[in-house]
Amino acid sequence: MIQYTIQRVALALGIVFVAISALYGVMIALPGDPTSVLLGPRATPDMRALFREQMGLDDPLAVQILNFWGRVLSGDLGTDFFRNRPVAVAVMSALPHTVALVFGAIFWSATLGILLGAFSADRRNSLLDRVTGVISVAFIAAPSFVVALYSLLLFSVTLRWFPSIGAGEPGDLLSRIQHLVLPSLAIGLAWVGYVARIVRASMLEAMGESYIRTARAFGLPRRRVVYNYALRVAILPAVQVLGVGIGGMLSSAVFAEIVFSRPGIGTLIYTSVSDRNYPVVMGAMLVAIGFFVTCALIADLINAALDPRHRKTQ
């Protein structure tokens, strides 16, 4: 397990390095000049040249990437030139809102998905199984931004059950949870379908295993066999899917945070890209990609710890 963990951590670090380096190159290659956005149209060529030199935009791309990683390794994510504050401050103030949103989406997708998948497998080929299959596919097909808009119109504007915008009052846990329900549901609903189908398939496969037949032969109650033994094994693929699905949830969080006017990494990246604020974009993307890779790594290690066969196939 130790060797497997070291290999996975090294792979995760390599993924972060390659992804951020490639993203940095894409950002530099995009059309537009950040000096024009920041200094305005009245800036002189000398002022723009000086500012580009201060930002390091005159250096070759490889040098810029190496300088960026050098600053990151020293704990410096750069400076937000628009607001004259460290990028780390801007990112860390937005990160808790996005983390709460993603884990709220995981709660919805795991809870509803496992329940639907287990009920569907327990009643294979029944009417409930068919209805659950239709609901799961419908959840998968529904775009998160459409779910966000309609949930906002229905539950906030029409029924007034939940607040429509913001992240809640600081220090008020109940207010934070109320503001989190709709955006997290909009993100997690699509993954309910994925988890439900995977749990159903895994449970049906587990029901044919020899240890399940042995448990039945010993006269254990059917419900205990299904939910204590088969479901425990069927959850393992769902853990892996949710770990990888965090990347999709992070991308969906951009739409949810914009629709519900929530401060977060998604909103920060969106506004920074619009302003061509390179340091903030790279700092926010570094944290977002690192968060995604870390969650996928944790899910992989949990899966390997629960099922040793997973380590042997890697």
Q: Do 225 and 212 contact (CB within 8 A), yes or no?
A: yes
With tokens 């044919």, the residue in question is 208
Give 155-164 pLDDT, tens digit per residue.
877 887 877 7
pTM of the model as a whole: 0.73
Q: Do 113 and 238 contact (CB within 8 A), yes or no?
A: yes
Q: Which CATH class is domain 88-306?
A: mainly alpha
- Residue 221 tokens read as 């109650």
Give 110-152 pLDDT, tens digit per residue.
888 888 887 887 777 788 778 877 877 777 777 777 777 777 7
Give 214-272 pLDDT, tens digit per residue.
767 767 777 777 766 677 777 777 777 777 777 777 777 777 888 787 888 878 888 88
- Residue 280 tokens read as 């903030």
Alpha helices in 123-162 (DSSP H): 127-141, 144-151
- Residue 225 tokens read as 């066999």
Look up residue 42 and give its amino acid: R
Sorted by where each begins, the domain ranges of the chain are 2-87, 88-306
The candidate with the shortest Cα–Cα distance to 116, out of 130, 105, 138, 132, is 132
With tokens 């809870």, the residue in question is 111
Look up residue 286 and give its amino acid: L
Strand, helix or coil at 187? Answer: helix
Give 78-109 pLDDT, tens digit per residue.
777 777 788 888 888 888 888 888 888 888 88
pLDDT score recorded for residue 56? 67
